[in-house]
């Protein structure tokens, strides 16, 4: 339980789902965690839980589409812990957005420019801002590990959510490109591509696993993954155990894309 002992980890999207699971797991593994989320009540809650278990964590209210918020998050990490070793960028939007923003998960033909920019901004520009913001601290520190959370929908075609699929594909290639540039600075940049994960982001479509036949078409394992299962994937890539991995894409989808 000390795979990240002495490490400082910034985790975005920390209020729920994969980001929250990463906060819990990384703190349990010895990291000093800076948990960032737009919803301060949720991130305060997980930080309180971490501290109650003896872990170290602080919360930061941050919208990753805001350059100022992202830079403030890094500054909070430096003020509290003096360095930044790890970034797990888990913030983003998905199918839950369509509950409040009509057309956000539509195909191109019915996607407005406003919808497109909102999804691209949250998923791609947010990733760009978070990744860029940690680079100076990591370069100064002489090392770093960045883990971006993408999706298997960045690897395969999909009938809808075209802005989402485009954003996640871009996150994957941004990760690969950054690894080439920043390897000289001893900064590793990797990516996790989850499949169907039981999070609030896809809560409205989780009914597909109620039917055994449909579930088997989605995944050979006939179930959705858990946020903690993805957190463990992030942990491997964030830790020194993956010291020869950079530009890597770890697919964690229960076999979904393997069956075509």
114: CB partners within 8 A, 6+ apart: none
Q: What is the dihedral of CA 163, 164, 166, 167, to 10 degrees?
A: 110
For tokens 């996640």, name the residue.
Answer: 168
Q: Among 190, 194, 199, 193, which Cα is nearest to 246's?
A: 190
Contact assessment for residue 93 and residue 148, using Cβ atoms and an 8 Å cutoff = no
CA gap 120, 165 in Å, rounded: 10
Alpha helices, DSSP H only, in the chain?
17-28, 40-52, 67-81, 113-120, 126-141, 162-182, 212-218, 227-238
Q: Which residue in 164, 182, 207, 232 is the catalytic one? A: 164
For tokens 């430096």, name the residue.
Answer: 78
Q: Among 166, 149, 5, 23, which Cα is nearest to 85's?
A: 5
* DSSP β-ladder status, 86-89 and 32-37: unpaired
- Would residue 232 show up in a list of annotated catalytic residues for this protein? no
Catalytically active residues are 164
């Amino acid at each position: 339980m000390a795979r990240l002992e002495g490490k400082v980890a910034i985790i975005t999207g920390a209020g729920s789902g994969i980001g929250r699971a990463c906060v819990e797991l990384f703190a349990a593994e010895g990291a000093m965690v800076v948990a960032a989320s737009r919803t301060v009540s949720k991130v305060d809650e997980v930080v309180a839980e971490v501290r109650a278990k003896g872990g170290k964590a602080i919360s930061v209210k941050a919208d990753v589409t805001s350059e100022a918020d992202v830079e403030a998050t890094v500054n909070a990490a430096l003020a509290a812990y003096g360095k930044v070793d790890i970034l797990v960028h888990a913030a983003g939007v998905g199918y839950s957005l369509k509950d409040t923003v009509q057309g956000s998960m539509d195909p191109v033909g019915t996607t407005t420019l406003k919808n497109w920019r909102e999804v691209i901004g949250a998923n791609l520009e947010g990733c760009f801002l978070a990744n860029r913001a940690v680079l100076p601290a990591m370069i100064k520190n002489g090392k770093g590990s960045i883990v971006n959370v993408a999706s298997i929908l960045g690897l395969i075609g999909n009938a809808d959510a075209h802005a989402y699929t485009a954003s996640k594909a871009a996150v994957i290639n941004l990760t690969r490109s950054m690894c080439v540039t920043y390897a000289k600075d001893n900064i590793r940049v990797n990516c996790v591509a989850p499949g169907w994960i039981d999070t609030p982001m896809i809560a409205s479509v989780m009914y597909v696993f109620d039917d055994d036949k449909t579930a088997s078409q989605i995944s050979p394992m006939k179930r959705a993954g858990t946020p903690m299962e993805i957190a463990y994937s992030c942990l491997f890539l964030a830790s020194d155990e993956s010291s020869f991995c950079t530009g890597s894409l770890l697919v964690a989808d229960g076999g979904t894309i393997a069956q075509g």
